[in-house]
Amino acid sequence: MLILGMAAATYLTRVTPFFIRIREYRFLKYVPASVFSSLVFPDIVRSTDNLIAGIVVFAVAWKNRDLMLAFLAGISALYILRSVF
């Protein structure tokens, strides 16, 4: 019952936009920059370790857009910071 309700609620948030066409592409084109910024910032201001690791990843991502590289830079930077300090 709980699982069905959760599944329905989640699917609703995902499927509804696929059946309502939004023509305001002027706003929509800012979705990636806005959404990912909102997901990233609460996580990098959580602790000093996260903030430093976040800056490292920013620098890496600036030079190279490879997602795998960013991923590896992120986990290794945080792992090293947490082990050393």
Binding residues for another protein (CB under 8 A): 1-22, 25-45, 50, 53-54, 57-58, 60-62, 65-75, 78-79, 82
Closest approach, Cβ 80 to another protein, in A, equals 10
CB nearer another protein, residue 68 or residue 85: 68
Percent of the chain that is helix, strand, coil (3-state, to 5): 80, 0, 20
In this structure, the number of other CB atoms found within 10 A of the CB of residue 84 comes to: 7
Rounded to 10°, the helix 48-63/67-84 angle is 150
Residue number with CB closer to another protein (22 or 85): 22
48 versus 72: smaller Cβ distance to another protein: 72
